[in-house]
Structure formats: C-alpha cells, structure tokens
Structure 1
Amino acid sequence: MAKRDLGRVEAIEALTRKSLWLASWMVHHANHIRPNVDGVKVGGHQASSASMATLLSTLYLGVLRPEDRVAVKPHAAPVFHALQYLMGRQSLQKLIDFRAFGGAQSYPSRTKDTDDVDISTGSVGLGVAFTAFASMIQDYVRAKDWSGKETSEGRMIALAGDAELDEGNIYECLLEGWKHGLRNCWWIIDYNRQSLDGVVREGLYDRIEAIFSAFGWKVVTLKYGALQRAAFAEPGGERLKAWIDSCPNALYSALMFRGGPAWRERLDNEIGDQGDVSALLNRRNDDELAALMANLGGHCVESLLEQFGAAGSDQPTVFIAYTVKGWGTPLAGHKDNHAGQMTSAQIAQLQSAHRIRAGHEWERFEGLDHADALETFLADVPFNRPGSRRLTSPPVPTIGPQYVGSGATSTQAAFGKILDAIARTDSELARRIVTTSPDVTVSTNLGAWVNRRNLFASTEMADLFQKEAIPSTQKWRFGPDGQHLELGIAEMNLFLMLGAAGLSHSLFGERLLPIGTLYDPFIARGLDALNHACYQDARFLLVATPSGVSLAGEGGAHQSISSPLIGMAQDGLASFEPAFADELSIIIDWAFDYMQRSGDARPDLADWPRDITGGSVYLRLSTRSIDQVPRTVDPTLADDIIRGAYWLKPPTAECDVVIAYQGVLASEAIEAAGRLGGDRRNVAVLAVTSADRLNAGWQAAQRARLHGNDGDASHIEKLLSDVPRHAGLVTAIDAHPATLGWMGSVLGHRTIALGVEHFGQTGTVNDLYRHFEIDAQAIEEAARNAARNSR
C-alpha cells in the first residue's frame, strides 16, 4: 500500500486510540497477567486515564513546544507513559513493568521515571499549583541579564481532575498568582464530574468559572465536540443542546455506561417529538448516537486544537474540558470506575474494538492503518525534537564562610548578618540568591538582605514611605532587579515557590540559590509541599526560625517540638541546628555548594547519603542569644561541624558521663558540665550540629557492613569510641528527645534523653526550661544519675 499523508486531526485521533489502548492494557497486564508474588493489589486507573486520553494526546502531539512544562494529572500516568512510548521516549520494558520495581511509576515522577516528566505529581493539587510558581520563576529568570541570550517563554501547563479542585492549596496559589501578575500558565480541568467516591455536585462548573474569573484568569469552556456542534446545527438540534445542558451529572454518567439504546430511550421519552428531534435521532443508529453523546469537548481533537490554538500565553487560562470518565472503554460513566478495572471479558471487548491481535498487544501501531504515515507524523511533532528537554546551568562558586563577630548573639540574628555580608559582595553567589518568605521577612531577619537587594516585580514600584520622607528601617523598593519574592502567609505557597526556584537550572537553564524563611513551628503546615519539592530533587535552603519552647512568650501555638524529627525523616533534606554563629557560617557556606551538587553515585551506597548527589538544606535557628565560644575554626573543626558533631570538651579515659546537646541548649549543657567539673567528675561535652547527619552516617555505615564492606566507621561511632563503655550519656535538646536519644544505641552507652514531649505554654525561658526539665539543673541531675548508674 502506498504511503499516505495523514491530516493532523486524523493522526492525533489515531494515536489517541492507541494511547487509550496501551494505557488500559498496561494496567490490566500489571494486575491480571504479570505474576503477583505478594498478593497485594497493584492498582492503576483505567477510567481516569481514559478521560484524559484525548486531552493529553492533543497537547503532546499537537500543541506543546519543547520549552513548555507540564504537570500531568496523577491518575493519567498510564496515558502519559503510553504517549512517551509512542514518541520513543519510554521503553517497552518500562510499560511491561508498570507499577513494578524499576518500571514506569504509578504517578509521573521527574526523579524516578526515565521518560520526559517535567513536574512530579501524585499528591493531588500540588502539581497544579506548582505550575503557577514555575511561571513566576520563569519571569524572574527572564528579568535578569545573566547570559544575554534570548530564550523562548514556555507555558506552564497543568492537567487536573475536577475533584482535584477540592485541594485548598490550589486556591492559596490563585491569590498569590494574582498578586504577582501570573502569566504563561494554563490549567486544563478534566471535568468528568466523577470523583473517587461518586459524582460531583451539581453546579460545580459555575463555582469554578466564578473563582477563576475573580482572580483574572481567562475561562475557556470546552463542552461540545465537533459532532455535537454539527448536530446542534440540524433541525431540532437546539432542543438536543438544551437537554444536554440541563442533564444532571449523575444521569449523564449513567447513560454513558448503559450505551446507545439507553440514550435513545431517554431522549425519545424526554424530547422526542415525531418531528425534527426524532428525525435527528433516527438518522443515527445506536452506536452513532452513543458516539454523538460521548463527543464532549474534552474528547474532540478538532475542538481542542481550535481552542488551544486560539488561547494566548500571556493571560493565565483555565480550560474546563467536559469529559467522560472511562471514555472509550466498557467502564465509561459508571460511578464505581475510579479504582475499578476492566474484567477479562471487558478488556477482550476493548481489544477487539481496537483490532489488536493476541500476542501483539504492546506493538506501537497494532490495529492502526498507515503506520508509516504515523511514524512520520510523530517524528515531526514539535515537542518530540531529539535531545533532552532538561537544561543545565554551571555551579555558582561559593565565597567562603562569612563570620559575623563575637559576643552574645542568636543564630537567627547571625543568619541575618551573614546574608547581609553576602549581599555586600559583588559576587555571582550574591546575584544568584533569591529569597522568599510567607509574610515573615523582617521577623526572620531577612530585612537587611532585602534593603540591599530589593524586592522583585516585573515593573518598578517606589517605596512610598521613602517617597513621603517617613522614617522606616525597611526600604521596600520593587523592581526587575530585585532578589526577594514576598509571599502571603501560606506555607504551602512557600514550599511550592522554593520547589520551582530550586529547579530553575533544569527547567529554565539558569541557576538560582533559593532561600526560604518561615517560623519553625509552621513547617508542619506545608509538609506536603515540602515533601513534593524534595521528591522532585529541588534545591533550596530552608531557614526556620524561631524555634522550640525558647520562643517562650509566644506560647504553645508558636513553639515547635517535632521539627528536628521532620528534618531527620525527610529525604532530600540535610538538617542542621547550630548553637553558635561560627558554626552557622560554616554550614551556610557548605549548603550553597551542597545545593548544587550532582553525580551518578547511588546515594544509599555512598559513605554519606546524598553527599555526592547533593540536596536541600534545613536550618533550625533560635532567637535566644547565647554567649559565643572564642575560637578559631580550623579545617578539622569545620569538617566535624558539617559531619554533625564535635567535642566541645573531649572525654578522657576516666570519663564517666557525656552531655550531648543540639542547638540553643548549649548554654545549659556547658553550665551543667561546669557544675559537675566542680566535683572533679570527668565530664565530656559533645556539641551536635546535626542529628540528621550523624544518624544518616551511622545508618550508612551499618548498611555497608551488612553488605560486607568493613570500611571506616561513621562519624558518631568514631566520636563515641573515645568514651569508656561504662560512661553514661545525657542528651539535651529544645525539641523532642527522640532527636538525640538514639545515640545510646551506637555503642551501647546507657542514655538519658532530655527534651520536650508536650505542647509548650507561655512563660519565661527559665520557667519553661525548668518545667520541661531541660535547664542546667535538670541536665546536671541527669548527668549525675547517668554517671552513678555507669559505675
């Protein structure tokens, strides 16, 4: 047969059918054909994939350009992987191993999938909101004069299910986008009117339209396909359109599931008139009538191309695409289809409808005509140009620790001074830093940085207080040269912004060094977005301050307890809690390097997890001033600070107790040790700068030994090896005692762990330390007890 050129619409329609089949077969194979050795449900979302098949196919094959970035609806992952396979960007084996170890991921992942994932999704709503912040970061990058090269603006595009709009972070994001003049952002809503547990409420469309319009978005409704619009133009068509518009969601879904005869019966009974309407219906057989009623805007390639092509990039746009959940499959419309899967009989029915021969289920063009023409079409798809769409940017040189003097100070105050010292330099490091904060810029000590480096906005805005000659310590000038992005008080938005800025080198080809500040207790309010950012391997410095019950007068609502455990448990985040300003200087300098590392080594097999590949960094700081230790930081001490601990007072052979502290309790630990020294008892003091790093190194060493590698001991093992086995260990932290309590397990030292286990309350620092038994007296008594029991 001679090779034939296919029209754009015809080719995309054919490949839509193929992606629908491959997605359905992928899930069926994973659940019913591939051996299930543990008996646990594999899962997958055939119906949710089916509703997105046309939308995704039209976007990837007919609309997207390489510079566009896409967040795919999590439950549409099978269709996404199928399209990547058709374009040659995904291997067959990955499809065969869908949801198996090493296979295509359940939800699109930019770090764990090998195909072309721009933005990880999975925790619903976050991928959607992420695109808005990515667009803001794109504007930020393009406003700078770093490279002198012109780059094309990409559209940041999210595909979301209508039920995903229940997530609150989407609406927090809308407000922030309005404040920052959001551009180049498309959200495409799969309006299938079904959620996990049922059918969505009537009138949802009106609410969606009103909300987006209120925030300045253009709303494009994709309700009717080309077949429906043609039918509406026939005599009697206006009544069919009116019936569709008034049909309840649940009824439309039920009729979709029941098929052509049910449609005919219902339409004949409700609008049949033995005239124009009846003639319109009678001109179509049952299959044709079912196809007409299923031809909603979200399933019509012609309509989608027309509307996507007409939409500009500048104004944020939401497309409300009417679809049918389970479209094109025997599951179409059934209210239980979200997690439901086709039976063997149903998959066979679909296989027959797609003309797929047994044994040829995975072939790219099986069941399609004109395979050569389709291959040619795919090769010419703009999005499918050869090469990786992930960009790179060279590392930014660090400038060394910025020490900030001696005398009593807090780590929060030291942070502000260190950043101000960097701001004074004419360094590439200073130019690449971008700071952001959820309405706590001044109270987290970013004020000096902002005064020197200004706030970012696409157009200049003068500081009215300065213009009116009103004295103020803050000089709030906005402009394209600014390096601070001020956010409203929503922690989810902070972490989404940090995630987007922390991927700028890959998304936009320009390196940023993002620093985000917030109050330490409110990390928990943004944990999902923090995890999302780390899962994507975004790189940023998170500075959380003030922390602990040391924030005495603010009461329990503002006092953090579990945050160090969050820092230890969160993958991709190296957590520190320094006590002294010189420690903080060393850590911040190291963090700027760590945030930019990359490598091919397996992090879980490295001597230090992630030290080769790098990651993000979390600093837990305090507002409580403590006396600084007069000293010069040599390379050995600097290395120990980064590795997680060092001896402030080393042990001797006669040592019978060790006091190990982290963070602001340094003063109490040192005082307690002094009291004990007065009794001539040998006491050692271990300054812990990072329980996270200590624990990670210890775990890595244990894993290495289990694998037969008897290499160097971990840092904490080396430190504690100098302590006699009979000695006791007291750990102290202004946080949950489990943060350090594990240290007794390293070499078997008897341990008493002091910390805070319950909600805080108001009072003075002395009151609260005494109440929670973390003051110097409590530490001393615990140390005496530990020493007594060690004999």
Structure 2
Amino acid sequence: MQCDLMTIAPEVTSTSPAAGLLQRAGDLSHLETLHQRLLWLSCWTIHHANHLRKKDERDVKVGGHQASSASMAAILTALYFHALRPGDRVAVKPHAGPVFHAIQYLMGNQTRDRLENFRGYGGVQSYPSRTKDMDDVDFSTGSVGLGAAMPIFASLVQDYLQGHGRAAPLGRMVALIGDAELDEGNIYEALQEGWKHDLRNVWWVIDYNRQSLDGVVREGLFARIEASFAAFGWRVVRLKYGALQREAFAEPGGEKLRGWIDACPNALYSALTFQGGAAWRRRLMEDLDDQGPASALIESRSDAELAALMENLGGHCLASLCEAFDATTGEQPTVFLAYTVKGWGTPLAGHKDNHAGLMTVGQMAQFQQTMAIPEGAEWEPFAAVADEAGLRNFLSRVPFFSEGRRRFTAPQLPVPATIAPTDRILSTQAGFGKILDEIARLGGPLADRIVTTSPDVTVSTNLGGWVNRRGLFARTTKADTFRDERIPSTQKWAFTPGGQHIELGIAEMNLMLLLGAAGLSHSLFGERLIPIGTVYDPFVARGLDALNYACYQDSRFMLVGTPSGITLAPEGGAHQSIGSPLIGMSQDGLAAFEPAFLDELAIIMGWSFDYLQRDGEQDPDPRTGLADAAGGSVYLRLSTRPVEQPLRRPNPGFAQGVIDGAYWLREPGPNAEVVIAYQGVVAPEAIRAAGRIAGARRDVGVLAVTSADRLHAGWTAARHAPDGVSQADRLLAGLPPHCLIVTVIDGHPMTLGWLGAVRGHRTAPLGVERFGQTGRIADLYRHFGIDADGIVAAVGRHSAGRPLG
C-alpha cells in the first residue's frame, strides 16, 4: 500500500485526525517554535564544541553534523512532541543525535554542562548511546544500518512477550534513518526476516535529503526504496510536498510547477537551494517560460518567499508530518519517505559538501541573528520564545514524556543447579544441548524465560532437544505438517505463540540483532528474558558488527559458537574458525569461555545465567580484577569432537578456577621444567604430551585454561591496581624462572601466547594461523603441530638445547 502526500488536499481539514490537536490552542504554532529551538540548539551545540570550547593544540576537528541534524529537526519535532506515546521506542539517526539531545535538554533530561561538552570527555556522545549518555536513549546508534534494523527485532521481542502473557499495550518501534543508510546490506536482511515473522508496529522514517557523505544520491532511488518496502508488505507513505507547495499547486500554473519539481535532478535541486531565491527565480523562469500562469505564480513571490516555497518539502512541514503520522493507524509496518533538504534552515542548506561541514563564525553569527537569539542567551532553553508560558504548558501535556523516563527493571530469576551430563565420552556441543534439554525438562522460572534462536542451524548446533520440549514461536499457530502427515521425524516443528525458540534465516547479522533486542527486554519492556543464540563458530565474524553493537548497548545474552576450529575437519577451511578466540578476548561486554569438559561447561553455564542478570557497579573485584558485579553477555566456543570425561571433581577451588579462567589439571612441582597450557578441545593432546615428557622433564604441569579472555582481563586489570594479584599471577607464581610454557589451542596461538609475560617465562605458542583444509582431525592436528607429537616437539625445540630423553 502506498499513501502519497502529493495527493493530500492543500489544507488540513476538520475531519483529519491531526486537525483536532493541531487546532487546539495553537499547538501547531508551538511545534513550529520547538522546531526552531531544536534547530538552533543542535547547531549551537556543534558550533560551540568546534569554535568556542577550549581545545588542546594537538586536537583535531571535533566534528558534528549540523546539516544532517537540520534536515531531521522537523521530523523529530513532529514525532516526539506530537505522534509518539510512552510505549514507543526510537532509534535516532546517528548524525541527528544533537537534535535528540536538544529535545531532552528542553524536557529537563539533559544538562547544559554535558551539551557544552559535546564530543568531549564525559559529555554528550557523538551518537546516541544507551550506556554513555544520561538521557533517555532507547537504542544506541552509530554503525549505520544497525540502528535502523534494531526496531524490527525489538518489535519481534515485543510480540514474543505478548505471546507469553505480557499484558502491556504494544508500542511502535521507530527508526529514523538517513537515505544513504539504505546502502547497508543488513537493512534488507532485516526486512526479509521481518516479513517472515509477520512484522507489525514498526515505523521507519527516512530522511530523504538525497545527499550522502561524498555526493548526491542516485536519481530515482525513491522508486527502488518504495518497491523494496512494498515487496515485504510495508505501507509506504511518501512525504514529498509541504503545505506551502500544495497550496501553490492549487493556484493557476501550479501543476506546471509541480511537474518541474518532479523532474528536477537531485543535484540541481540541492544547488539551487544553496544559491537561494534569486537563483530559483532565474531557473524557474527560464525552464517554465510560459509567460502565463506559471510565471505569474513565481512573480507573485519575493525571493525569500520563493525560496521558502521551494524548500517547503514534506519532511520540513510540521502540518504535513503530523497529518501523515496521525493518519497512519493499525499495525502494518510503515515507511515514511520524507523529502528534506540537507542543512535546511542554515547557510549550509543544499551544498554538496555540507555533510561534515561546519558553519563559520561569521555564518553562525548571521544564523543567530536570523533566529533572533540574544547574545549571551545561546544556551537558554526558551530563548526568543514569545509565549514561554504557553509553550511550557504545551510541553507539560506532550504524551511521550508524560510518564517520565522509560527505563525499566525486572527481578532477577533464580538459577537452579546446572548438572553436567554423565556421559563418559561426549563433545561440549552435545553437552550444551543435553544441559539445555534438562533445564527444559525440569522447568521453572529460568527455563520459562529462556528464548533460543539460531540462523538456520538449530538442529546442527544441538538445540533440537530444547525445541522438541519447548516449541517454536510464532504469533499464530502453525502445525507440523510432517507429523500431521505421519512422516517419521526426530524434530517437532510446530509453531505457537507460547513457543520458546525463534527460527531465523541464515543471516548471522539478524541473529546478533535479535540477541541484542531480546537481551534488552528487561530495560525496554520490564520483562526479563535469557536469550541464547547458536551459530557456527567461523560465522561469528559475519555478524561481528551487530555483535559489537549489541554489546555496546549492554545487552545480555549467551552466544554459542559451535562447531569450532580445524576440529571440524571434514568441513574444510571455509567452516573452520581461527580468530574467534581473539574476538572473544577483545570484545567488550562479552565474557568468552572455551571449556574442554562437561563439568566445566555446566559450571560456566550456571554462572552465566546469573552473570547475564547482574546490574551492579563497575568496580573491580579485589580478588580477580574483573567487574563481575556489573554483569554482561557470554560467548561459549564449543566443539563437535567427543572427548573422554574426567572423574568427578568436587573441589570448590576447581569450580572457582573454571570461572576465573584457569586451574591446574596437573599441578607442577617446585622444579618444573615444562608447563603445557591448553584451552578447549585439544585437552587430550596436551594431557598425552605431558605424560610422554614426564619421564624426561621434572615436575611437568598441565594448565587447563577455560577462559583466556577472563584470565587476560584479570591480569591486565591487576597491573593497573595497587597490590593487584590476578588469577594468572597466582597460578604461575610458583614456577621457577627456567620453566618453559608451551601453549596450545585449536585457534590462533596469540590467544594463549601472552602467558609467558605474566612472570617472564619462555613461551612456545602453538595453534592455527592459516586456513585449514578438508581431512581427518588427526591429519589436521599433525599438519598444524597441535597434536601430542607437535607439543612434544615444541618442548624439545624450546628447552634451551636440552633434547628429550
């Protein structure tokens, strides 16, 4: 469905949904005043940071986006002060962040000090941030395309909660995006996923200013945009003409003017906007040249009036915006294609180079005069407002802000004991599936709040048992056709509103975005979920931008990468991960583990269910240096290789070591010559190698590393703390200086290669640095030197010339 505001009557009629509010006590006038205030405050904030705030001579340009803010000022005005309700959630275009913060400043949710420190340490962030900004940011934005897609998955989470008994009214999930963001591929992956899940209650408002960072958007893009959204079942509303233009079209000669506007190339429209009224007049008179009604229409206006008419596009016309928003009812996802001028209302309007451009001091002075802002009153929220009392009264009844800040909390769920499977030989991937299946079988509050998801690899990542017990989610019930047709199958594939697995297509970006949205459910909707997502470990990298985005928002989820490494030998190099352990170590907000044994995995999963729910201070724990009280997300790197399991290990020190990152599987003696430190599925090779060299080397130790991430983070934190002692320090403190540490992992050797730096020991790091190939596990381990023979050989090479006996 397409609603084109080119066909809307020139005036808002008494039957329009917007008419009642906009005709009440001059509300439209107040919106116009707010638009001017936001335009000024956003531009002034950026100007102050670049031209007035004291800077170090080494500082580069502070930056900001005055033009991109200006093009969205009216859109944000109409949304926040007219259309939105408290249950709605908004992702604001990154470069329109200053307008958002100006809105919060006017409403008392942002401070002048932080605005004055825009893009400075401790000040307002460059782009809206849930965790770094103090005001009411719903979704962080910054990496273009991701903020646009996030509301789609937030809407899906909202539907999931409703299917599981949440009674709160459904809100609209809104994205304000730039037209250039539509070049991002994840946009279309998200649109397709939304279509699969019968998406509803989502609005996208596209700032169609037809300019990007380096140039002008390709002609005719609007038709492709509209076709793409329509193909996925969205309602398309084209906001092209403002009220002034629609009135002019009704005049004699108006249709000819409209035809000229429709045919005008983007670059020319921008250039004429920058040049102003006289340029518009010359070009229109030359092109229309009818010596009749069209010429008369142009001649009847001054240069200033003509410029105002030609720049009165739908995205800058508050009456048109409010009318369109109010007329858009129902749950169908809707995209508003709002035509705008980049830099509207400023001296930068329309110029090709205005994206990162800044008004000069002279231009700002002219702009200040135009906006009638007295000198010294630049930061005053209501400067130059004629009816301040009336405006304050209007703001007091704006629906969106009527319930105050919209950050919720949810009670923590009790975590039952997590029991490891008793299999003598099993892989960690299969163990993960068995643990989840047992949680599903036993039930309880935690089990009921777990939601799993996977990009088309549900069964192959061992979620099948969980799904068979807990079902798949859909807003409407869908039968399992194979079962209805009595065709034998191990999987129960029926969909219901109460199902607890969300089936995704194969796009890993969508997995990370859904985990990010579900992991904010406690804050966005006041309902806690425990999201668990599984993905083939090598393809964590395909969703890495969205994973980083989710962690940046402090979303809480468990990501399970499995199968991993060259251990997935028959699948070949394309399906074998090398650098994912380093991703786990370097990603903030994500505690990464790679257990070798099932008892370790059970301990880690139990700890993780609690860790995901923590919301304490960032103060480091004096014992580990880690800010565990603050909580975070968790990444498990698991394997398909069955491993013989150790006997029961009830020692509480063992469990603590698993969580802290490492423990001694075989504690070294006081004269240890060699320690073999391993992480993950290569445990049998490390143990076998230690046994082989034990007769030739004294006091050999075997260090089981369960989390290089936490072990390394604790070590670096301790180095910055007075008297800090990390887990790595404690474990390696007793090793004599001559001891050799051989590290081994089915992954990049840098993961553990740093261990020698803890106490200054020689280190021989073994691992995988090149693409693997198809083969048997034994062949690939031998090729990369991470089998027992390779470990023994490394001991011989690095033992100060002492050959093995």
Please tell me the TM-score bracket, short chain as reference: over 0.9
Q: Which residue of 2 aligns with 1:730?
A: 742
- Whether the aligned pair in 2 keeps the contact of 1:81 and 1:90 (CA below 8 Å) is yes
Q: Give the partner amino acid of 1:495.
A: M
Alignment gaps of 5+ in structure 2: 1-22
| 1:53 partnered with 2:73 | yes
Alignment of 1:208-357 (within 5 A): 208-357=225-374
Q: Establish whether residue 109 from structure 1 lines up as the match of residue 129 from structure 2.
A: yes
- TM-score of the pair, normalised by structure 2: 0.95
Alignment partner of 1:647 is 2:658: no
Distance 2:403 2:624 in 1: 37
Say if 1:659 and 1:783, in contact at 8 Å, map to a contact too. no
Q: 1:739 and 2:751 equivalent? A: yes
Secondary structure at the aligned position of 2:442 is classed as coil
Q: Does residue 1:11 correspond to 2:30, yes or no?
A: yes
Alpha-carbon distance between aligned partners in 1 of 2:492 and 2:59, rounded to the nearest angstrom? 63
Contact 2:39–2:99 (CA under 8 A) maintained in structure 1? yes
- Cα offset, 1:633, TM superposition: 3.0
Match of 1:710 among 710, 713, 723: 723
Describe the shift of the 1:63–1:606 C-alpha distance in structure 2 as closer, same or farther (beyond 3 A). Answer: farther
Deviation at 1:632, TM superposition (A): 2.7
What is the match of residue 456 of structure 1? 473
SS of match in other structure, 1:517: strand
- Look up the match of 2:598: 581
Q: Does residue 83 of the first structure (1) align with residue 95 of the second (2)? A: no
**Using the alignment, how far apart are the partners of 2:178 and 2:389 within structure 1?**
34
Does residue 758 of structure 1 match 2:770? yes
Provide Cα deviations, 1:699-738, integer angstroms capped at 9, x if missing partner. Answer: 111111xxxx214x10110000122222110000000000
3-state SS of paired residue (1:327)? coil
Q: How does 1:434-449 map to 2 (within 5 A)?
A: 434-449=451-466
TM-fit CA distance, 1:680:
5.9
| Cα distance per residue 1:416-452 (max 9 Å; x no partner) | 1001010101211110000000000000000010011
When residues 215 and 44 of structure 1 are mapped into structure 2, their CA distance, relative to the original with a 3 A threshold, is: same
Counterpart Cα distance in 2 of 1:506 and 1:605:
29
Q: Counterpart amino acid of 2:379?
A: W
Mapped partners of 1:378, 1:172: distance in 2: 39
Alignment partner of 1:27 out of 46, 64, 67: 46
The answer (yes or no) to whether the contact 1:155–1:313 under 8 Å persists in 2 is no
1:560-639 matches, within 5 Å, as 560-602=577-619, 607-639=624-656
Are the equivalent residues in 2 in contact too, given 1:750–1:790 (CA < 8 A)?
A: no
Cα distance in 1, alignment partners of residues 131 and 569 from structure 2: 41
- 2:147 is aligned to 127
- Which piece of structure 1 moves more, 778-787 or 49-58? 778-787
Which string of whole-angstrom CA distances, capped at 9 and with x for unpartnered residues, describes residues 326-382 of structure 1?
Answer: 000000000000011111111111100001111111111112211111111112111
State the distance in 2 between where 1:313 and 1:417 align: 43
**Shift of the alpha carbon at 1:386?**
4.8
State the distance in 2 between where 1:156 and 1:663 align: 41
Match of 1:65 among 70, 73, 85: 85
**Conserved 8 A contact 2:207-2:315:** yes
- Which residue identity is paired with 2:142? G
CA-CA distance at 1:69 after TM superposition: 0.3
Letter in 1 for 2:752: L
Q: Which amino acid is the alignment partner of residue 138 of structure 1? A: Q
1:209-252: CA deviation from partner (whole Å, max 9, x where unpaired) = 10100000000000000111111111111111111111110110
Paired residues of 2:624 and 2:660 also in contact (CA < 8 A): no
1:219 partner SS: strand
State the shift of 1:535 in Å: 0.1
- CA distance, structure 2, for counterparts of residue 608 and residue 28 of structure 1: 41
CA drift of 1:8 comes to 1.6
- 2:396 match: 379
Shift in Å at residue 283 of structure 1? 1.8
Cα drift, residue 465 of structure 1: 0.5
Residues 480-519 of structure 1, C-alpha deviation per residue, up to 9 Å, x if partnerless?
1100000000000000000000000111111000000000
CA distance in 2, matches of 1:486, 1:386: 35
Q: CA shift at 1:87, angstroms?
A: 1.1
Conserved 8 A contact 2:617-2:627: no
Alpha-carbon distance between aligned partners in 2 of 1:688 and 1:261, rounded to the nearest angstrom: 73
Write the letter of the residue equivalent to 1:738.
Answer: M
Q: Which amino acid is the alignment partner of residue 779 of structure 1?
A: I
Residue number in structure 2 paired with 1:204:
221
Tell me the amino acid that sits aligned with residue 225 of structure 1.
G
Q: What SS is found at the alignment partner of 2:177? A: strand
* 8 A Cα contact 1:572 1:610, kept in partner: no
Contact 1:601-1:612 at 8 Å conserved across structures: yes
Tell me which amino acid in the other structure corresponds to 1:22: L
RMSD: 1.4
Which amino acid letter does the alignment assign opposite residue 723 of structure 2?
A: D
Mapped partners of 2:401, 2:465: distance in 1:
47
Identity of aligned residues (%): 65
Partner Cα separation in structure 2 for residue 27 and residue 398 of structure 1: 48
Q: Partner letter of residue 249 of structure 1? A: N
Aligned residue identity for 1:722 = G
Q: Shift in Å at residue 86 of structure 1?
A: 0.8
User: 157, 172, 179: which one pairs with 1:155?
Assistant: 172
Which amino acid counterpart does residue 779 of structure 2 have in structure 1? Answer: D
Structure 1 residues not aligned, in runs of 5+: none
**1:751 aligned partner, one-letter code:** T
Q: Kindly state the Cα deviation for residue 605 of structure 1 after the two structures are TM-superposed.
A: 9.0
Question: Shift in Å at residue 39 of structure 1?
Answer: 2.4
Q: 1:456·1:483 contact (CA, 8 Å) conserved in 2?
A: yes
- Aligned counterpart, 1:524: 541
Tell whether the 8 Å contact from 1:661 to 1:731 is kept in structure 2 after alignment: yes
Q: Within 5 A, what are the aligned runs for 1:182-193?
A: 182-193=199-210
Q: Retained in 1: the 8 A contact 2:281–2:298?
A: yes
Amino acid at match of 1:8: D
Q: Could you say if the C-alpha distance between residues 604 and 44 of structure 1 is closer, same or farther in structure 2, counting changes exceeding 3 Å? A: farther
Distance 1:528 1:79 in 2: 26
* Count of residues in correspondence between the two structures: 780
Distance 1:695 1:411 in 2: 23
User: Which is further off, 776-785 or 477-486?
Assistant: 776-785
Q: Is the 8 A contact 1:554 1:762 kept in 2?
A: yes
How many Å separate the matches in 2 of 1:308 and 1:465?
44
CA contact (8 A) 2:226 2:236 kept: yes
Counterparts of 1:313 and 1:692, CA distance in 2: 47
One-letter amino acid of the structure 2 residue matched with residue 287 of structure 1 = A
Seen in structure 2, the aligned counterparts of structure 1 residues 790 and 6 have a Cα distance that, compared at 3 Å, is: farther
Specify the code of the residue in structure 2 equivalent to 1:89.
Answer: N
Contact 1:402 1:422 in 2 (8 A): no
Corresponding position: 1:358 with 2:365: no
Kindly state the Cα deviation for residue 787 of structure 1 after the two structures are TM-superposed.
4.0
